[in-house]
């Protein structure tokens, strides 16, 4: 029997070969072409995941894990066919250990679902990519978001894992302790491995106390360099920002078109402060003192919970708002991250380059971390335009590496960034290949992703 027959016998209707289900799992929010799997499996337990992987290992069928399919570098696409392993039915919050500030979840729980479940506890899970992604997918891409500047990324917020390995065995890594010196850190090898080393079937996540007071605001600056230089000084002054997000003038235009706002088309910072009420007031005052040096104007407090939610919803929808700038095209999102002292140089260079190359590009950035995205509109059917946009993206990657940064702060490698792996990692790339070969010798787990083909 083939793997597909075995899995069909095990899952019954929970293995779907229907064209629309396969297409839905082979589609991306980004510019990548449709790449449907041969079938989609919907397991409900770690043991079922293990049995599926064992069946696939027996005849070399590719297995690509699927959370919510929001990754932006084509990570979840089944480019070699096989099984798309949809983990959305493994969606239980297994435990909330409030006294230890952690929660144990299945991989299909989304970040907003977890926070809904935590509502009565006074705790929250901070990592917030714009999409309502699954926590398994977020761990697999080492995702972050607007609050990483204060609370860290998935790297800092995953304590322990259960994973199914390429031979179908089930392992546990890490513990509920806040720290450990016990052996190789397999938890953090799996975090960010994009489903190429194992399937995450359970996650223990770090939780944080809800802040006593929250204050949010927006303000604008004469130029993007002023806004970013303000951010650099704020971070270097150790003001504990909870959120500090840049949107450039083009992105503001996108928001106005998409959300019906009428923000002045100038670079803006979106801000949030967390702490005790007096601490929040002090942080905001310290920020405003620094911002005054850079010509800040138009300070707008978002005082109510509704106003704050509207502000961050607008920011989280930036990917879609970019669409309003040039309807009918797709958005290619770049994702470089640089040391904070070089951020102004990188952002200004990105804006100038887009203008010189005649591209419609809007910048948003988790700038407190030195991370920013250019959302560039492109028609993937237009080969010349696609080549120009990829050239732009490549030049930004070169800039990031020249400045001591990385080609991806949070979106990951997937398909699109493989070409920069050698430049970023040098000889370390061979050691990554050795890990993949040792952990998945038959190359069944998300084959063709992350590691570039050997030349
Ligand atoms: C509008 C929008 C805004 C975004 N904003 C951000 C942002 O601010 N920050 C950010 O980091 N990202 C952002 N993203 C990208 C995306 O949301 C993240 O990459 C997210 O972590 C993907 O999660 P997912 O559940 O959709 O995973 P998927 O896209 O389904 O999968 C992503 C990868 O993880 C693997 N995977 C999924 N589940 C598992 C599992 N259980 N075990 C092993 N491997 C698994 C898949 O095989 C694939 O390689 C944004 C995307 C959109 C569309």
403 DSSP β-pair partners: none
Percentage of the chain lying above the pLDDT 90 cut: 98
Q: Quick one: DSSP state of residue 88?
A: T
Angle between helices 343-356 and 383-402 (to 10 degrees): 160
Tens-place pLDDT, residues 105-136: 999 999 999 999 999 999 999 999 999 999 99
Give me the helices (H) in 222-294, please. Answer: 224-236, 249-259, 277-292
Domains of the chain listed by start with CATH number: 3-86 (3.30.43.10), 93-209 (3.30.465.10), 213-402 (3.40.462.10)
Tens-place pLDDT, residues 322-351: 999 999 999 999 999 999 999 999 999 999
Task: Name the pLDDT band for 1 (thresholds 50, 70, 90).
Answer: confident
Residue pair 63/53 in contact (Cβ under 8 Å)? The answer is yes
User: 100 CB less than 6 Å from ligand 1?
Assistant: no
Task: Name the pLDDT band for 303 (thresholds 50, 70, 90).
Answer: confident
Tens-place pLDDT, residues 224-234: 999 999 999 99
Percentage of the chain lying above the pLDDT 70 cut: 100
Residue 429 scores a pLDDT above 80: yes
Buried-state track 123-155, b at ≥16 Cβ within 10 A, e below 16: bbbbbbbbbebbbbbbbbbbbbbbbbbbbbbbb
Distance 238 CA to ligand 1 centre (A): 30
User: 46 CB less than 6 Å from ligand 1?
Assistant: no
Query: Tokens 């250019």 belong to which residue?
Result: 374
Distance 69 CA to ligand 1 centre (A): 6
Q: What is the mean pLDDT of residues 378-405?
A: 97
Give me the helices (H) in 146-223, please. Answer: 148-151, 154-157, 186-190
User: 421 CB less than 6 Å from ligand 1?
Assistant: no
Q: What is the mean pLDDT of residues 181-201?
A: 98
Task: Name the pLDDT band for 210 (thresholds 50, 70, 90).
Answer: very high
Distance separating alpha carbons of residues 227 and 442, to the nearest angstrom: 50
User: 246 CB less than 6 Å from ligand 1?
Assistant: no
User: 87 CB less than 6 Å from ligand 1?
Assistant: yes
User: 146 CB less than 6 Å from ligand 1?
Assistant: no
Distance 93 CA to ligand 1 centre (A): 19
Task: Name the pLDDT band for 90 (thresholds 50, 70, 90).
Answer: very high
User: 410 CB less than 6 Å from ligand 1?
Assistant: yes
Residue pair 87/136 in contact (Cβ under 8 Å)? The answer is yes
Residue 18 scores a pLDDT above 90: yes
Q: What is the mean pLDDT of residues 387-397?
A: 97
Distance 56 CA to ligand 1 centre (A): 23
Distance 90 CA to ligand 1 centre (A): 16
Give nearest CA residue, ligand 1 atom 52.
Answer: 131
C-alpha distances (whole Å) from 19 to each of 23, 26, 156 are 6, 10, 39
Q: What is the mean pLDDT of residues 235-241?
A: 96
Other C-beta atoms closer than 10 Å to the C-beta of 97 total: 13
Number of residues that this document lists for the chain:
455
Distance 333 CA to ligand 1 centre (A): 14
Residue pair 243/272 in contact (Cβ under 8 Å)? The answer is yes
User: 202 CB less than 6 Å from ligand 1?
Assistant: no
Atom nearest to 70 CA in ligand 1: 26
Distance 416 CA to ligand 1 centre (A): 14
Atom nearest to 87 CA in ligand 1: 41
User: Cβ-count burial of 179 within 10 angstroms (0-12 exposed, 13-18 middle, 19+ buried)?
Assistant: exposed
Distance separating alpha carbons of residues 89 and 346, to the nearest angstrom: 42
Residue pair 334/346 in contact (Cβ under 8 Å)? The answer is no
């Amino acid at each position: 029997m083939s793997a597909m027959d075995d899995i069909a016998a095990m899952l019954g209707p929970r293995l779907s070969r229907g064209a629309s289900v396969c297409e839905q799992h082979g589609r991306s929010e980004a510019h990548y072409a449709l790449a449907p799997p041969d079938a989609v499996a919907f397991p409900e337990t770690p043991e079922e995941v293990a049995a599926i992987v064992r069946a696939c290992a027996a005849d070399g069928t590719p297995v690509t894990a699927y959370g919510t399919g929001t990754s932006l570098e084509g990570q979840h696409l089944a480019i070699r066919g096989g099984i798309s392993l949809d983990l959305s039915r493994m969606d239980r919050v297994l435990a909330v250990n409030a006294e230890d500030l952690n929660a144990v979840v299945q991989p299909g729980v989304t970040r907003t679902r977890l926070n809904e479940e935590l509502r009565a506890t006074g705790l929250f899970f901070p990592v917030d990519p714009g999409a309502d992604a699954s926590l398994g997918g977020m761990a697999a891409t080492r995702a972050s978001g607007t609050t990483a500047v204060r609370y860290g990324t998935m790297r800092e917020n995953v304590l322990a894992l259960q994973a199914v390995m390429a031979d179908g065995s089930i392992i546990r890594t890490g513990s509920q302790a806040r720290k450990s010196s016990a052996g190789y850190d397999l938890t953090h090898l799996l975090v960010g491995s994009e489903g190429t080393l194992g399937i995450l079937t359970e996650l223990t996540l770090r939780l944080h106390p809800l802040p006593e007071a929250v204050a949010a605001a927006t303000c604008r600056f004469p130029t993007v360099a002023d806004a970013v230089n303000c951010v650099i000084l704020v971070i270097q002054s150790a003001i504990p920002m909870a959120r500090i997000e840049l949107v450039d003038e083009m992105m503001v235009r996108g928001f106005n078109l998409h959300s019906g706002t009428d923000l002045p088309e100038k670079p803006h910072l979106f801000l949030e402060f967390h702490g005790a009420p007096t601490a929040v007031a002090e942080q905001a005052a310290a920020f405003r003192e620094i911002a005054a040096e850079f010509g800040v104007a138009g300070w707008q407090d978002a005082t109510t919970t509704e106003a704050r939610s509207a502000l961050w919803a607008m920011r989280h929808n930036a990917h879609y708002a970019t669409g309003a700038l040039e309807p009918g095209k797709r958005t290619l999102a770049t994702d470089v991250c640089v040391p904070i002292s070089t951020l102004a140089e990188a952002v200004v260079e990105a804006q100038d380059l887009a203008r010189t190359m005649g591209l419609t590009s809007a910048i948003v950035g988790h700038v407190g971390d030195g991370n920013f995205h250019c959302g560039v509109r492109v028609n993937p059917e237009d080969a010349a335009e696609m080549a120009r946009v990829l050239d732009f993206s490549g030049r930004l990657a070169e800039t990031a590496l020249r400045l001591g940064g990385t080609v991806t702060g949070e979106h990951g490698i997937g398909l699109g960034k493989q070409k920069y792996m050698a430049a970023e990692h040098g000889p370390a790339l061979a050691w990554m290949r050795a890990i993949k070969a040792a952990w998945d010798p038959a190359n069944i787990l998300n084959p063709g992703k992350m590691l570039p083909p050997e030349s």
